[in-house]
């Protein structure tokens, strides 16, 4: 019987996707929430948006910390927590360093691991880096795998994961997004509100992945400058706090007319921005899912995606920073094409993923 469940999360996306799981499990088991601090400020705020308070804050982040050092600090910080709490299950989500460390630390203490959003694959260990390898490793450590889609389940089975350990639950981001939309929380950022009042169309932009840092990020900034030169659009760029992103973006785009650089936007407000925008430019995985539910086209700044369902449905299209402008112009100028890019069915579930995960954990015991 599952009496105590410990959830490890450290980044904003993890918390957003695990919040509905925490609420569902809190009704049937004793719950312990561990915030690793991988996203210090963004993560702390994310717990609050969903009326949750972590029992532990490990505060592991240091500036310019190598991945190997981060993983070591996470393992060292998690060990005494697991030893003291003695949970029946540890839950991790996705593919972050916090998720890998949570799964590995639990494995070392013979604690079963449940992996939420299991089975996503690009089959290229360098893209996204290091997330692809991290989620593959978590699959070897977990004993219960909650796949968001049937295709993710198939990938796990091909890797030799026993069928009885895999449950297609849907994606918990749908649970969170539905709850948020129904709650009425969030408001449109002021620059976006003003742009719409002036009859401009909005383009929402995010970029944070390692493969887009370096030479690709300046190319993205130049394409965004060309895009606002049309004078009928304005860009809201939510700039990631990573110095490798923030420094070049502000150096190239600060005070650029038509481009508004904002600190990370609170999730409820960010969802209101996605609702209001014409399309989205991003390298995010989770935004592909949110855009699908909101039926907003995504220009994806990646060479591969672990969410092929959204690409097959047409809501996501991969481009390079250099070819972004061509696709953006088409979305702005070709109404028939734009509408075709907005037609996405319920790719990631019905909003009951957290309930299925809760039931799956109870049954597994």
Query: Is 115 an annotated catalytic residue?
Result: no
Q: Which of 131, 283, 289, 290 is catalytic?
A: 131
Q: Which of 40, 201, 210, 318 is catalytic?
A: 210
> Dihedral angle at the C-alpha atoms of 57, 61, 66, 72, nearest 10 degrees?
-30
Using DSSP's 3-state secondary structure scheme, residue 14 falls into: helix
Residues β-bridged to residue 259: 235
Q: Which of 57, 95, 290, 309 is catalytic?
A: 95
Q: Taken in order 221, 222, 223, 227, is the CA torsion positive or negative?
A: positive
> What tokens were used for 315?
């809501």
Q: How far is CA 154 from CA 58, 100, 151, 357, 361, in A?
A: 35, 22, 5, 18, 20
How many C-beta atoms lie closer than 10 Å to residue 62's C-beta? 10
d(CA 188, CA 172): 24
- Kindly provide the residue ranges of all beta strands, DSSP E only, lying in 101-164, ordered along the sequence: 113-116, 144-147
Determine contact, residues 46/180, Cβ cutoff 8 Å. Answer: no
Q: Which of 14, 57, 117, 234 is catalytic?
A: 117
Q: Which of 208, 209, 302, 307 is catalytic?
A: 208
* DSSP, res 165: G
Query: Is 303 an annotated catalytic residue?
Result: no
Query: Is 210 an annotated catalytic residue?
Result: yes
d(CA 134, CA 260): 34
> What tokens were used for 196?
């719409």
Query: Is 117 an annotated catalytic residue?
Result: yes
* DSSP, res 293: H
Query: Is 23 an annotated catalytic residue?
Result: no
d(CA 79, CA 74): 9
Residue among 167, 76, 192 nearest 361 (CA): 167
Residues β-bridged to residue 4: 30
Query: How many CA within 13 A on the CB side of residue 39?
Result: 21
Determine contact, residues 172/352, Cβ cutoff 8 Å. Answer: no
Determine contact, residues 175/146, Cβ cutoff 8 Å. Answer: no
Query: Is 164 an annotated catalytic residue?
Result: no
d(CA 170, CA 150): 9
Q: Which of 240, 302, 341, 356 is catalytic?
A: 240
Residues annotated as catalytic (active site), given as ranges: 95, 117, 131, 208, 210, 240
């Amino acid at each position: 019987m599952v009496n105590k469940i410990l959830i490890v999360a450290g980044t904003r996306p993890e918390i957003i996707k695990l919040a509905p799981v925490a609420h569902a499990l809190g009704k049937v088991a004793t719950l312990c929430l561990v915030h690793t601090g991988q996203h210090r400020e963004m993560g702390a705020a994310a717990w609050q948006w969903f009326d949750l308070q972590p029992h532990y804050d490990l505060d592991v982040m240091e500036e310019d910390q190598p991945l190997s050092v981060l993983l070591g600090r996470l393992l060292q910080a998690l060990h005494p927590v697991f030893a003291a709490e003695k949970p029946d299950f540890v839950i991790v989500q996705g593919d972050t360093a916090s998720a890998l460390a949570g799964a590995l630390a639990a494995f070392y203490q013979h604690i079963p691991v449940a992996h939420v959003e299991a089975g996503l694959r690009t089959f290229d260990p360098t893209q996204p880096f290091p997330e692809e390898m991290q989620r593959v490793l978590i699959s070897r450590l977990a004993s219960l795998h909650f796949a968001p889609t049937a295709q993710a389940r198939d990938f796990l089975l091909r890797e030799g994961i026993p069928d009885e350990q895999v449950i297609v639950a849907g994606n918990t981001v749908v649970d969170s997004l539905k709850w948020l939309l129904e709650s009425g929380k969030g408001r449109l950022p002021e620059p976006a509100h003003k742009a719409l009042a002036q009859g401009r169309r909005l383009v929402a932009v995010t970029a944070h992945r390692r493969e887009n840092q370096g030479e690709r990020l300046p190319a993205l900034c130049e394409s965004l400058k060309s895009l606002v030169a049309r004078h009928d659009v304005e860009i809201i760029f939510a700039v990631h706090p990573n110095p490798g992103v923030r420094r070049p973006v502000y150096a190239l785009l600060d005070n650029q007319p038509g481009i508004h650089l904002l600190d990370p936007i609170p999730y409820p407000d960010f969802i209101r921005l996605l609702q209001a925008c014409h399309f989205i430019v991003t390298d995010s995985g989770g935004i592909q899912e949110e855009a699908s539910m909101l039926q907003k086209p995504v220009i994806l700044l990646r060479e591969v995606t672990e969410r092929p369902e959204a690409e097959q449905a047409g809501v996501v299209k991969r481009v390079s920073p250099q070819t972004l402008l061509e696709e953006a112009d088409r979305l702005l100028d070709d109404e028939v094409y734009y509408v075709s890019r907005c037609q996405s069915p319920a790719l990631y579930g019905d909003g009951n993923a957290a309930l299925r995960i809760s039931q799956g954990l109870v049954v597994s015991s």
